[in-house]
Each structure stands twice: as structure tokens, then as C-alpha cells.
Amino acid sequence: MEVWGSQANAWASYLFYGLNDKSGPVIRLAPSTDEKIEEMINTSTSSYTTESNEDTFKSDVVFESFHHQARVPISDRALLAGFLRV
């Protein structure tokens, strides 16, 4: 159960920025600008290739950067689902 606790905390911190900061407000996840997304892609690995079977994914599966999804604001329904999951 300890593992899920740290995962839940990471997920909550991602969805609700400022959750662990007692001095400021908690705000919802905001979409990124194209410039910020480009910066995140350039400073991180833009893709990941599995080297062996990982869960249901076979080896040599290529995952593209998740940063492209950051252009669209999170919906109220998804935010509520994330909140209920925590």
C-alpha cells in the first residue's frame, strides 16, 4: 500500500499544482504554450523504445513524447476523475 500512497501523491501534485505548498493556492493543471512544450521536448527524451516485453507492450515499441498532449486543457470530467482516484 505504501507504493500506491506515493503514486497517489505524485498524481495529485500533477493535477493540482501547489498541493504540497502550504503557503500558496492550489490551482488546476494548465495547458502549456507551444514554446514551453518545445522546450520540454528538447530537454527530455522525445521518445522511448521498449527493450523487452513490458506488460502488454512487446519489445521495440516506440512511445512518443507525452508533452504534445499538454496543449489541451484538462477537462472538468477528467479532473474530477483524477480527484476521485486520489
Condensed to tens digits (0 to 9), the pLDDT of residues 6-51 reads: 677 777 777 788 887 888 888 887 788 888 878 877 777 667 788 8
Full-model pTM: 0.45
Closest among 82, 65, 62 to 14, alpha carbons compared: 82
For 62, the grid coordinates are: 516506440
Confidence of residue 1 (pLDDT cuts 50, 70, 90): very low
* Helices marked H in the chain: 2-15, 34-43, 76-85
Residue range 49-68, pLDDT digits in tens: 888 887 888 888 888 766 55
From CA 77, how far away is CA 56, in angstroms rounded? 27
